[in-house]
């Protein structure tokens, strides 16, 4: 027996939106043996665009029961039934979320008539419910109302049962088939082709446009997590409805994964990526000379066109970085921007004795030499250098080039290739966009990689 279900909602996220109407048809494979339908009070305003689509108004649901009032009835009707819907994960996740809110676990086997239609009825121009029913001569009354859509889905499912000569429906109910997990429009073959290796992956929409780019140590496992679990975010529901394909790149090197992901996001500007797209005001470390001739550091917000010595995502990160430099090179905490300007002894760092540059006890020449040495040896993001790391199971190296503090690109080079100067690096590079996001990625990696992997050029 099958419970063929359709719902209407206040929006696309099962976390933030609520159900406004539900219809259930119990189908034995040949005929409808029972039906149930009800409006539901979502306890929130229905957006204008939703009312325009469904015709369901706030007034219509004002006196309707709450979901908790009909929950037992829904449990009883669907007990021991297979949950069937067009784009099943959308309806299933909403209903499961409603049950979770009242402390009841809801679990049913699932079948998706979109995925089944693609297999049993291949070659259709569209697999939306309306277009599919039109092409098959199925009458669909009251479109975008739960009862109308559920009845049409029931007729469609009955047709699929008749035409299923290869037992797609039976096989789809097997847990290992993944048919109930994957988005309705995404080919299973795309998922099965994913490697269990490090790299980046791309979600594609119907026009083969990239709508999301992600990175992972295990690509297949990470992609699987987008569609499994209990999360019901807006982005997850968008992926479920609008992902029509997958692509990927295997990338052995950890730094290259971060760099290529950031480069691809800035290149393709995917709809559902947030990081790397907006201009963020990071925290920068700036250098200047005061009126007494002492070199000073200052921490401040860094805009898109500013040129700080180095940038960090947070003020605490840059302060910790600067604290280590002050301690190592015996710099003045006050002149380094870690302690407010004022009188009295520097006491920002415990068990540290300031040499007295802040009160004129140490001359500017000697102090500035230590500042310059700290910049040269520790704030190397403004130098010209190459990061070169061996790639596992390969006779190649991953390379990153920074020229005068500006990121120039990434690439690969064979072990047999000798690089002595910057001009010998550039032919091996994929040129890339440089900004503060890239600077942060590279600098954070510099703190982790071995010194022998960093090659400086004059």
What are the structural domains, with CATH classification, of the chain?
2-177 (3.30.420.10), 188-268 (3.40.1440.10), 282-378 (no CATH), 382-456 (no CATH)
What is the enclosing helix (H) or strand (E) of 131?
helix 129-136
The alpha-helical segments, DSSP class H, found in 167-233 are: 168-172, 188-192, 219-227
Q: How far is CA 227 from CA 8, 238, 331, 445, in A?
A: 21, 11, 52, 31
Spell out where 328-428 has E strands: 385-390, 396-403, 406-414
Give pLDDT tens digits for 128-158.
999 999 999 999 998 899 999 999 999 999 9
| Contact by Cβ (8 Å): 145, 54 | yes
| Contact by Cβ (8 Å): 296, 289 | yes
> Stretch 360-388: mean pLDDT, rounded?
85
pLDDT at 183: 82
pLDDT at 241: 76
User: Which residues lie across from 216 on neighbouring strands?
Assistant: 199
> Stretch 315-339: mean pLDDT, rounded?
88
> Stretch 300-304: mean pLDDT, rounded?
77
Angle between helix axes 88-101 and 234-242 (nearest 10 degrees) is 160
Main-chain dihedrals φ then ψ at residue 262, nearest 5 degrees? -60, -40
Which range has the worst mean pLDDT, 146-150, 171-175, 366-370?
A: 171-175
User: Which range scores top for mean pLDDT: 179-193, 217-231, 374-388?
Assistant: 179-193
HSE, CB side, 13 Å, CA atoms: give it for residue 46.
24
> Stretch 356-378: mean pLDDT, rounded?
88
Q: What is the DSSP letter of 335?
A: T
What is the enclosing helix (H) or strand (E) of 364?
helix 364-378
CA proximity to 253, closest of 456, 418, 449, 426: 449
> Stretch 375-392: mean pLDDT, rounded?
79
| pTM for this prediction | 0.66
User: Is the pLDDT score of 361 beyond 90?
Assistant: no
pLDDT at 359: 82
What rounded mean pLDDT belongs to the chain? 87
Cβ atoms < 10 Å from Cβ of 80: 8
Percent of the chain surpassing pLDDT 70? 93
């Amino acid at each position: 027996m099958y419970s063929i279900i359709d719902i209407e909602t206040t929006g696309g996220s099962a976390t933030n939106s609520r159900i406004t109407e539900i219809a259930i048809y119990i189908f034995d494979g040949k005929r409808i043996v029972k039906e149930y339908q009800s409006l539901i009070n979502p306890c929130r305003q229905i957006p204008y665009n939703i009312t325009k689509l469904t015709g369901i108004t706030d007034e219509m649901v004002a006196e309707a029961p709450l979901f908790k009032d009909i929950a037992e009835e829904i449990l009883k009707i669907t007990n021991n039934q297979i949950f069937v819907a067009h784009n099943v994960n959308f309806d299933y996740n909403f209903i499961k979320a409603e049950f979770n809110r009242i402390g009841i676990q809801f679990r049913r086997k699932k079948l998706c008539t979109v995925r089944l239609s693609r297999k049993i009825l291949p070659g259709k121009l569209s697999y939306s419910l309306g277009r599919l029913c039109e092409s098959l001569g199925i009458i669909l009354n009251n479109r975008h109302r739960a009862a109308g859509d559920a009845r049409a889905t029931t007729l469609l499912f009955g047709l699929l049962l008749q035409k299923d000569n290869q037992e797609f429906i039976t096989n789809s109910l097997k847990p290992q088939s993944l048919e109930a997990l994957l988005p309705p429009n995404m080919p299973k073959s795309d998922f099965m082709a994913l490697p269990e290796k490090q790299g980046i992956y791309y979600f594609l929409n119907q026009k083969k446009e990239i709508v999301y780019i992600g990175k992972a140590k295990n690509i297949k496992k990470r992609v699987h997590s987008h569609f499994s679990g209990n999360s019901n975010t807006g982005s997850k529901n968008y992926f479920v409805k609008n992902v029509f394909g997958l692509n990927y790149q295997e990338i052995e090197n950890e730094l290259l994964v971060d760099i290529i992901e950031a480069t691809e996001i800035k290149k393709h500007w995917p709809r559902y990526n947030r990081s790397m797209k907006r201009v963020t005001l990071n925290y920068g470390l700036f250098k200047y000379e005061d009126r007494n001739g002492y070199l000073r550091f200052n921490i401040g917000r860094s805009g898109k066109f500013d040129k700080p010595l180095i940038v960090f995502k947070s003020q605490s990160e840059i302060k910790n970085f600067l604290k280590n430099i002050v301690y190592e090179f015996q710099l003045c905490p006050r002149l380094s921007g870690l302690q407010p300007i004022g009188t009295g002894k520097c006491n920002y760092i415990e068990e540290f004795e300031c040499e007295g540059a802040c009160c004129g006890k140490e001359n500017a020449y000697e102090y500035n030499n230590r500042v310059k040495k700290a910049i040269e040896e520790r704030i190397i993001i403004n130098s010209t250098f190459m990061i070169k790391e061996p790639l596992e199971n390969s006779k190649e190296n991953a390379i990153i080039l920074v020229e005068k503090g500006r990121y120039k690109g990434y690439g690969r080079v064979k072990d047999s290739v000798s690089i002595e100067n910057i001009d010998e690096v550039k032919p091996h590079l994929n040129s890339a966009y440089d900004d503060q996001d890239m600077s942060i990625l590279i600098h954070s990696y510099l703190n982790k990689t071995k010194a022998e992997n960093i090659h400086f050029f004059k």
